[in-house]
Structure 1
Amino acid sequence: MADEQTPHDFDNFPSGLAGKRILLCTESLGPVNGVSRTTKMLVDQLRSNEVIVSVVAPYNHTKINTFNPISPSSNVNSLYQEEVRLAGYPLPFNPELSVAYPVRLSEIYRRTFGGPPDLIYLASPASLGFQVMLQMRQYAKELQVPVICNFQTDLARYCSVLFPWPLGGMANRTFGLVEGNLFRDSSVKTIFYPSTSVKKYLDKDANVPTNKMEVLRRGVNTKDFDPAKKSLALRKEWAPNGELILFTCSRIAGEKGFGFLAQVAKELDKEGLDFKLVIVGGNRNPVVFQEVKDMFGSLNEKGKVIFPGFKVGEDLMVHYASADIFLHCSITETFGLVVLEAMASGVPVIARDQGGPSDTIEQGKTGFLIPPDDLDGFVRKTMLLGRDSRLREQFALAGRAFACEATWERISNKAAWQMFDTIEQFKQDKQSGISTTQAPSVGWLPLSAPARRFLLPKIITAKIAFSLSIIFGFWTIVGTYLVFTDIGHLFKTHTPRASTLKRSVSHWIKG
């Protein structure tokens, strides 16, 4: 891997990357999730070091420029400060994200640099990233731009949770096959992975060559997420009688483990633990939000569960620091940035032992890891930590110390060095002629050189058209499902909820 071949000092940014043109395609921008926050940190770091970055993403509800402006001393054209937004269909269960409509790579080039960039970086590739990779592999080798992927979202696992049977299993297998096929192509030079679980998936399920894989964890700004930001006034608002404050922060959606969290909260209530559960996050689809809220049943009526809504910036950091224990119940996270943010805020964490948190939490030192299906174990550890303030303090100090070692600057610099090495290697390969003489496979045809020159562009166009037809076919199937889901949510929004109707009937009968 790159670190073994070319060791670098990640405290320093590669000066040779300045002036290079990076096309960064991402599925999410803005204050949406941990992936978008990670992408923002990387882009800001690149731009602050004079790298020309053009960002492309599907529209979301914000529709505003997300990133910090380029420094006034920069010679970079102001065009590249803006984001290029592509049309897409918003996901019914998470309207902040959209499935990008089919788009030609040449059109993306036209709207960004006017031509091919030096490198393409795909942040958590899905609807947009897949299109870029699929089209790139259809170009002749000398026209291919090197690609780096950052695998941050386990789409296969999400599909298993989100889609009903048998669509979930089919989508899971389909995504696994598609990702493996795309990642193995020679145009993809590096795949960053955030945790051991993702590496196993790439190795075993997607059959990605080991020499393409490079670990890239996430960081946290420990000046922003700081225990000193604890607010006694906020704690008093949440828990006026001094109750234990349990906390979680996530997009409000079923696949984030809220069903398990609701079971934990109900068991803790049965055990007599005096607590308030604060759930920070939101979902612009009111039906999904209400479905999650209803999971907690009578705890809502008792006032034991608090939904403060979506928080960002300083407000979010104060919310973190004002909690006693962070409960992480999602098992679909490739890293779980919220876990690291909680540790930086001096809040001990209890998490299900699957995905990224398994690499972040040191068992019995910075928190507890519980087998994914062990509800009783999760409840017992929460009871233990909730009733032992000294143990909470020990975990908090150890977690804070761990978080202080995970800085965004070093992580972004590592990604930047990989970009620099990839561009340099690609340049050397072109100069040596290693990858400039290959073309799409037409060698079985007895064609003259002029005929090959005539047919080659048409073959490329035909292959790209075929690739886009595959994308459009898959999108049509998924899109049809999304439309029906939207209709279902619309129906629920304008129809009395079953529980409300049941109560009304009950009152009418008693009356």
Structure 2
Amino acid sequence: MNEISQMPSDHLPPFPNVLHGKRILLTTESFGPVNGVSRTTLSLVEYLRRNGVELAVVAPHFEGSRLLQHQNPSSSSSPSSLDLRLPGYPLPYNPDLTVVYPFRLDDVYRRTVQPDVIYVASPASLGFQVLLQMRQLQTPPVVLLNFQTDLSAYSEIIFPAPLDRFAVWLLGTVQGFLFRHPAVHTIFYPCSAVLEYLKHAGAPMERSIQLGRGVDTTLFHPQQRDDAYRKDIAPNGEIILLTVCRLAPEKGFEFLAQAMWQLSERKLPFKLLIVGGNRNPVVESRVHRLFDPVRDHVIFTGFLTGVPLARAYASADLFLHCSITETFGLVVLEAMASGLPVIARDQGGPSDIVRHQKTGYLIPPDDVGRFNSWVKEVATNRELRSSLAVAARQYAEDTTWDKINNRVAWQMARALEQRDSEREQNEIYERSGGFSVMETFRLMAAVGLVYLMWLVAVVPLIIHGSQVVPRTLRVLQKVPILGRCIYKTR
């Protein structure tokens, strides 16, 4: 298989045969909620299973999974007998996310598979425990991880000083330590800003590979435009602006509300369609209240998925992205696939997606005036809007999920090739199964460390998280200045 490591990624065969019959343990912090991590991970799971891989998915328990499955049965692959949900504590300000309680890796193996490959999606409470315990094994499986969520950026928003700086330091230290282990073959990162963060955290740059996200270019398509739907939203022919994201403090809603108020003062006839919600009604209500000064211009739809979401994209005229904590920004790609120009704050993942002046415009994170100027220019210039829309769709057509997942599969194949080669050279062979007495002891010690970290880091997070709801507006006021500090002050 030596030819695999030298084969250009753009010319790979459809699927690596070496993965057939291999056991893959995929862990993810989010598998079910309506967010980019869930959609990205679900796409990979379906791709691997469709190609005959024995795959076990381990994820936190998610209270809303049954409701989402009922609303959109096609949004999730059929559960496997190998899948495992672990108990944990839902975060008060975002109940869709769960901090997993301490667990034993050997128990996970027993209930799923003893893997050849571990794939860690968006490592946090679950992924960190897997990586820490994997270090205790004499011959660990190869590990690939996908760094999709910048937890330190969230910490800077959620925690007050000086806890925010402590959280950033602690996360960077833990991530650098865990990611440097020799068993970690690949660290996928979504954008250049995250690569800079990983470098400062001490992650091995030689194992880092940029991996974008894909988009369903059949579902998200300009043909989903619905003129009757447009008429309901904008009965007087107003320009329709769209934003899609979870209603949460870190998503830049204060910036967006300020921008919309200024546009209304400039007499631009518009309607703003906000797609998304939050299972914590208090947080959702606080975000709604930010738009009270322009309530006649704003429509909240709640969560949408599948065809209703695609219709909302295609029926709009312009997509606005105001979050500066996104490591990628899947909604930006979905908007472009739907034929929408994008105006985004120039921070994080969207900076690597939007082609400035070709598919949309990237605006300095704090410059609400320039943001509004480009919104008004694109909104009132039909010819410009049309050319940006065509270019946006063309860009999205080259970023399908199959292409992205194909790269992941071949990177798994390369990791297995390298492991087998090293074991052959060192005359190390796989055990027949089970854990040695020493490994069991080391796992118990690692779990003990996890309990300690719960006391030091997670318990304060939960306690403080219970207080974050009533202070959401105050938290939101930090957002406009974050563009200067998220990746640049560490």
Q: Is the shorter-chain TM-score for this pair beyond 0.5, marking a shared fold?
A: yes
- Measured against aligned partners, the alpha-carbon deviations of 1:197-224 in whole angstroms (never above 9, x if no partner) come to 1112112x12222221111111111111
1:24 maps to 2:20? no
Cα distance between partner residues in 1 of 2:461 and 2:179: 27
**Could you tell me how far 1:476 is from its partner in structure 2?**
2.8
Contact between 2:248 and 2:287, CA under 8 Å: does it hold in 1? yes
Question: Equivalences for 1:357-368 in 2 at 5 Å?
Answer: 357-368=350-361
Counterpart in 2 of 1:55? 57
Cα distance between partner residues in 1 of 2:212 and 2:222: 23
Question: Equivalences for 1:267-306 in 2 at 5 Å?
Answer: 267-300=262-295, 303-306=296-299
- Measured against aligned partners, the alpha-carbon deviations of 1:67-98 in whole angstroms (never above 9, x if no partner) come to 4249xxxxxxx633xx3100010011111110
Contact between 1:252 and 1:282, CA under 8 Å: does it hold in 2? yes
Structure 2 CA distance for partners of 1:222 and 1:278, relative to 1, 3 Å: same
- Which SS does the other structure have where 2:373 is aligned? helix
Counterpart in 2 of 1:75? none
Counterpart in 2 of 1:237? 232
Counterpart in 2 of 1:424? 417
**Could you tell me how far 1:426 is from its partner in structure 2?**
1.2
Cα distance between partner residues in 1 of 2:470 and 2:196: 41
Counterpart in 1 of 2:178? 182
Contact between 2:246 and 2:278, CA under 8 Å: does it hold in 1? yes
Counterpart in 2 of 1:134? 132
Structure 2 residue identity aligned to 1:263: Q
Question: Equivalences for 1:382-421 in 2 at 5 Å?
Answer: 382-421=375-414
Question: Match for 1:330 among 311, 315, 323?
Answer: 323
Cα distance between partner residues in 2 of 1:487 and 1:220: 35
**Could you tell me how far 1:158 is from its partner in structure 2?**
1.0
Structure 2 CA distance for partners of 1:312 and 1:170, relative to 1, 3 Å: same
Contact between 2:259 and 2:368, CA under 8 Å: does it hold in 1? yes
Cα distance between partner residues in 2 of 1:258 and 1:436: 54
1:475 maps to 2:454? yes
Counterpart in 1 of 2:363? 370
**Could you tell me how far 1:377 is from its partner in structure 2?**
1.1
Structure 1 residue identity aligned to 2:87: A
Which has the higher mean CA deviation after the structures are superposed, 424-433 or 386-395? 424-433
Cα distance between partner residues in 2 of 1:96 and 1:306: 23
- Measured against aligned partners, the alpha-carbon deviations of 1:261-285 in whole angstroms (never above 9, x if no partner) come to 1111111111111111111001000
Question: Match for 1:214 among 209, 213, 217?
Answer: 209
Structure 1 residue identity aligned to 2:158: L
Question: Match for 1:68 among 50, 59, 77?
Answer: 77
- Which SS does the other structure have where 1:314 is aligned? helix
Structure 1 residue identity aligned to 2:141: V
Cα distance between partner residues in 2 of 1:176 and 1:42: 27
Contact between 2:33 and 2:96, CA under 8 Å: does it hold in 1? no
Counterpart in 2 of 1:120? 118
Which has the higher mean CA deviation after the structures are superposed, 58-67 or 407-416? 58-67
Structure 2 CA distance for partners of 1:69 and 1:18, relative to 1, 3 Å: farther
1:86 maps to 2:86? yes
Structure 2 residue identity aligned to 1:265: M
**Could you tell me how far 1:423 is from its partner in structure 2?**
1.5
Gaps of 5+ in 1: 71-77, 438-455, 493-511
Structure 2 CA distance for partners of 1:339 and 1:423, relative to 1, 3 Å: same
Question: Match for 2:333 among 331, 340, 348?
Answer: 340
Count of matched residue positions in the alignment of Structure 1 and Structure 2: 458
Structure 2 residue identity aligned to 1:20: K
Cα distance between partner residues in 2 of 1:364 and 1:4: 37
Cα distance between partner residues in 1 of 2:188 and 2:21: 23
Structure 2 CA distance for partners of 1:435 and 1:208, relative to 1, 3 Å: farther
Structure 1 residue identity aligned to 2:103: V
Cα distance between partner residues in 1 of 2:364 and 2:44: 33
Question: Equivalences for 1:428-447 in 2 at 5 Å?
Answer: 428-433=421-426
Structure 2 CA distance for partners of 1:485 and 1:216, relative to 1, 3 Å: same
Structure 1 residue identity aligned to 2:375: T
Question: Equivalences for 1:238-257 in 2 at 5 Å?
Answer: 238-257=233-252
Structure 2 residue identity aligned to 1:129: G
**Could you tell me how far 1:298 is from its partner in structure 2?**
1.7
Contact between 2:219 and 2:310, CA under 8 Å: does it hold in 1? yes
**Could you tell me how far 1:427 is from its partner in structure 2?**
2.0
Structure 2 residue identity aligned to 1:354: Q
Cα distance between partner residues in 2 of 1:171 and 1:40: 29
Structure 2 CA distance for partners of 1:356 and 1:483, relative to 1, 3 Å: closer
Cα distance between partner residues in 2 of 1:397 and 1:428: 47
Q: TM-score, normalised by structure 2?
A: 0.89
Counterpart in 2 of 1:146? 142
Contact between 1:344 and 1:404, CA under 8 Å: does it hold in 2? yes
Contact between 1:123 and 1:150, CA under 8 Å: does it hold in 2? yes
- Measured against aligned partners, the alpha-carbon deviations of 1:396-419 in whole angstroms (never above 9, x if no partner) come to 000000000111111101100011
Structure 2 residue identity aligned to 1:152: Q
Cα distance between partner residues in 1 of 2:161 and 2:348: 23
Q: Bigger relative contact order, structure 1 or 2, given CA contacts below 8 A and separation 6+? A: 2
Q: TM-score, normalised by structure 1?
A: 0.85
- Measured against aligned partners, the alpha-carbon deviations of 1:10-64 in whole angstroms (never above 9, x if no partner) come to 3511122111110000000124201110111111111111011100000112345
1:100 maps to 2:93? no
Structure 2 residue identity aligned to 1:95: P
Cα distance between partner residues in 1 of 2:394 and 2:111: 44
Contact between 2:363 and 2:370, CA under 8 Å: does it hold in 1? yes
Structure 2 CA distance for partners of 1:334 and 1:489, relative to 1, 3 Å: closer
